Amino acid sequence: MNFLAKFERSMALGAACFRVLMMDKEMLVFPLLSLLALGVLFAAGIGPLAASGQLEVFRQMLEENPDVTQEPWFLAALFGVYFVCYFVVIFFNAALVTCAMIRFAGGDPTVMDGLRSSVRTLPNILAWSLFAASIGFILSMIEDRSKGLARFVMGLIGTGWKVATYFAVPVLVVERVGPIEAVSRSIGILRKTWGEALISHFGLSALYLIPVAGGFLFAFAGGTQFDVRPLFASVLWVMAVVFVFLSTLVISTLGSILKAALYVYAVEGTLPSGTFDNRLISDAFKD
């Protein structure tokens, strides 16, 4: 499939997801809550260290001995941060997927519906976060230490892992299984439906060109005006940041909606009328 066809199909899928989002705009709250939670956790962790001066001591330690990043205690701390971030993102993403599932079933979801579902599924989310974060962390560490062909191979393995776990969150939300079963079910759904075609036809990813292009245009326009009208240039730069943030927020939400829709389509073979065009979903993953 050429780029133009892929982009056109991504726009059609994006439009279908957007219609669902317009029915339940509160879905945008979940990625915002995720960012807020991560920000609070970051401030709670870094704030006391900065206030006590330990952060500066640690920075100096890194400058004097860069090999400290290979110490077991440092890797353990790094994994802890990785796991917490992973858990927060999965928790709120699972809530978003739940709301999408409720909409597909003909209901009218609320933010509390999604949060209550994630709380009920908390043991599964914790287990999955620990399992997936461990795999992702190990693969990332090996890739960072690899060179040449080995690094390329590790990159492919990492991509394969992401593809294999594509449906893991919807599986957790609906079926509430353990990590191993979640991976197995995710792979099974891929094999049953589109398999490898999912990689090359994941058209919604092309929509990320919108924040990139829009942000660049605002930033470029600001750069051309800085010498003449610095205040106006600053406004344009702020607009660039806001545009990138908001459009990325919307697109990431659309991605979760699409993932939920594809899961329902894969399991049930159809979607309720008024949400997605079943032919669009089916044709989007044909070779």
Asked which of 102-111, 183-192, 235-244, 277-286 is least confident by mean pLDDT, the reply is: 277-286
Q: Which domain holds residue 181?
A: 3-283
Number of domains forming the structure of the chain: 1
44-92 pLDDT tens trace: 888 777 777 777 777 777 777 776 667 787 788 889 999 999 999 999 9
Average pLDDT over residues 251-255: 86
How far lies 230's CA from each of 167, 205, 244, in Å?
Answer: 48, 35, 21
Q: Is the pTM of this model over 0.85?
A: no
